[in-house]
Amino acid sequence: MNIWLNVFYTILIILPLMCYGPLTVYLIDGVLRYKVIRKPLTYISTASVGIVLGIVKSWVKYTEDTAVVLDVFEMICLLGIISLILYFNMKDKWWRKIIVIILASGIITNINEIFSILKDQFFEHLPWSNAIVVMLVFTLYELIWRLIEFLFFYVIKRIRSRRDDTPLPIPIILIFTIVINIFSNLAFVDGNFEDVFDSKVRTVMIMLSALLFILLYFYIRVTRKERDSYKELNTVNEELVESQTKYFEDKARSDNEIRAMRHDMKNNVQVLMLLLENGEYDQMKEYLEEMGENLQVADISAHTGNTVADAIIADKTSQASAMGIKLKSSGVISGVDISPVDTCRILANLLDNAIEAVSADELSDLDPDSKLIDLQFKKTENYFTIVVTNPCYKVPEIEEGKIVTSKSDKNEHGFGMSNIKNAADNYEGELQVSCDPKPYGFEFTAQIVFPVKREDLSAVEG
């Protein structure tokens, strides 16, 4: 009997410590949306830390004098080691990683406290007298409540995955930590209840209110994001339809002009032959020059193999030309299947930013030949890349390959970059930006790298 009691006692100690690390990882990566790399290793290592500490704790003999000290030491070791593991397995700035880990640990601690209080209120007294049965039931209760805790975070993750995949801002996480801490501490405020049942109901209601507050916040946040996303989608669709309409109008005009030139070509050749036979070379030269002027055919700008991309490039080429800017496009789109809406998001924002930067007043004296926006589509065996380069008069603030939007550089490339990144993320694409000094100022480069689809790789290898 003593052996089984020891086994259940050890499990009861290990279980909460073992779950603490993985729950923290899941909160940071799945709920708060701060990317954790090497996830399987991170989950296993954080769980192992809790298991080891739990085993050590079950072997230590407690006394009333040492219990508090040992508990504090245990939490310091648990938080310290798990924080180090997370620090080296998160992709972000060092200071942001530290803040997120600290706040996430605080949220997990308070959420654990809330669920622990709920568990105690529901299962305060057990009817069984057999010690082994009691320990078994307590172990099952502990396991069930840990699963409920995980399901709570899973529900939040599912809510956020609908339209809200961006990392939760640190100020919001801080407010969350404070509010949840207030809720968890309210359970210990003396309400002067004479009836134990009333006190228990009050505690349960406070704890459930805390959980409901969290769920409602994320639901409202996602609902607002969905509304904003639909508004943006409508704007993109309008621009897409407008670009395609102009594209097909230009293409039809180009086809008509080509047919007209074919019709006139026979007559033109006869006139030239007549001038040549009569030795009227000056008139022949004038006639050829006039023919050259009439050969200005509507240019549809690009032949990427993607009608949507061609339409957008044609539209932006027309806009750039009106400002004295040349937009050059080369390459074809292949290896990645991008939706029409995301194609519009990416190309329209990239080219709008480039046109806005080149048309800045500070570059008004720039040589017309240098007022060039170069758009390239490149494909290798493993990657497809969209690259846009253009002049700019000022270096944007770039951190970790991303533009930091501020009033000082907003007129260059800050606006729309988040839309580009969000669209690229749908296809596991990565946005990279850089700025190099040039005699006229600087040259800005934005490129999006997409992994090539597996079937395309098979075709290449075949």
Give the C-alpha separation, 409 to 386, whole Å: 23
Res 376 pLDDT > 90: yes
Looking at the chain, the whole-number percentage of residues with pLDDT higher than 90 is 20
Closest CA to 374 of 361, 358, 362, 363: 358
How many of the other CB atoms lie within 10 Å of CB of 10? 15
Contact 444, 435 (CB under 8 A): yes
For range 305-325, the mean pLDDT: 86
CATH 3.40.50.300 fits domain 302-461: no
User: DSSP state, 405?
Assistant: -
Q: Is residue 283's pLDDT more than 70?
A: yes
Burial of 345 (0-12, 13-18, 19+ CB in 10 A): buried
Q: How confident is the model at residue 102 (pLDDT cuts 50, 70, 90)?
A: very high
Q: Say what the pTM is.
A: 0.63
Query: Concatenated DSSP letters for 237-263?
Result: HHHHHHHHHHHHHHHHHHHHHHHHHHH
Average pLDDT, the chain: 79
Give the residues across from 329 on adjacent strands: 375
Opening angle at CA 352, ends 238 and 378, nearest 5: 100
Lowest mean pLDDT among 23-27, 57-61, 340-344, 437-441: 57-61
Can you list the pairs that 301-304 forms with residues at least 24 positions away whose Cβ atoms lie under 8 Å? 301/327, 301/329, 302/329, 303/332, 304/329, 304/331, 304/332, 304/333, 304/377
Q: How confident is the model at residue 401 (pLDDT cuts 50, 70, 90)?
A: very low
Check residue 413 and give its pLDDT.
45
* Arithmetic mean of pLDDT, 110-137: 72
The total of other beta-carbon atoms located within 10 Å of residue 364's CB is 10
* pLDDT (0 to 100) of residue 411: 44
Higher pLDDT, 81 or 128: 81
pLDDT of residue 385: 94
Q: What average pLDDT does this structure show over 203-224?
A: 82
Looking at residue 340, what is its pLDDT? Answer: 81
Per-residue pLDDT of 260-278, as tens digits, reads 666 677 777 777 788 888 8
pLDDT of residue 343: 86
Nearest to 378 by CA among 445, 321, 438: 445
Q: Report the C-alpha gap between 209 and 213 in whole angstroms.
A: 6
What is residue 460's predicted lDDT score, i.e. its pLDDT? 41
Rounded Cα–Cα distance for residues 320 and 326 (Å)? 6
Collect contacts of 168-177 with beta carbons under 8 A, ≥24 apart.
168/31, 168/32, 168/33, 170/96, 170/99, 170/100, 170/103, 173/32, 173/100, 173/103, 173/104, 173/107, 174/103, 176/103, 176/107, 176/214, 176/217, 177/103, 177/106, 177/107, 177/110
- Name every residue whose Cβ is closer than 8 Å to that of residue 426 and which is 6 or more positions away in sequence: 339, 342
How far is 339 from 64, CA to CA, in rounded Å? Answer: 65
Q: Does the pLDDT at position 45 exceed 90? A: yes
Buried b (16+ CB within 10 A) or exposed e, 57-90: beeeeeeeeeeeeeeeebeebbbebbbebbeebb
Query: Which of residues 68 and 424 earns the better pLDDT score?
Result: 424
Residue 414 has pLDDT above 50, yes or no: no
pLDDT in tens, 232-261: 667 766 766 666 666 666 665 665 666 666
Average of per-residue pLDDT across 341-363: 88
Candidates 278, 379, 271; CA nearest to 335 is 379
Q: 446 near 353, Cβ under 8 Å?
A: yes
* Residue 1, helix vs strand vs coil: coil
SS3 65: coil
Q: Where are the domains of the chain?
A: 2-232, 302-461
* Residue 409 scores a pLDDT above 70: no
Provide the β-strand partners of residue 438. 441
Q: What is the mean pLDDT of residues 109-136?
A: 73
Report the pLDDT value the prediction gives residue 419, as an integer from 0 to 100: 78
pLDDT value of residue 412? 44
C-alpha 293/C-alpha 291 separation (Å) is 5
**Distance in angstroms (rounded) separating the CA atoms of residues 310 and 315:** 9
pLDDT value for 462:
43
Element (H, E) at 221: helix 196-277
Residue 120 to residue 99: CA distance in whole angstroms: 32
Judged against a pLDDT cut of 80, whether residue 69 lies above it is answered with no
- What whole-number distance in Å separates Cα of residue 301 and Cα of residue 354? 17
Question: Distance (Å, rounded) from C-alpha 68 to C-alpha 145?
Answer: 25
Q: Which residues pair with 90 in a beta bridge?
A: 36
Q: Which residues, in sequence order, are CB contacts of 445 under 8 Å at separation 6+? A: 387, 388, 389, 433, 434, 435, 436
Task: List the single range of 60-69, 107-116, 273-282, 347-356 with lowest mean pLDDT.
Answer: 60-69
3-state secondary structure of 413: helix
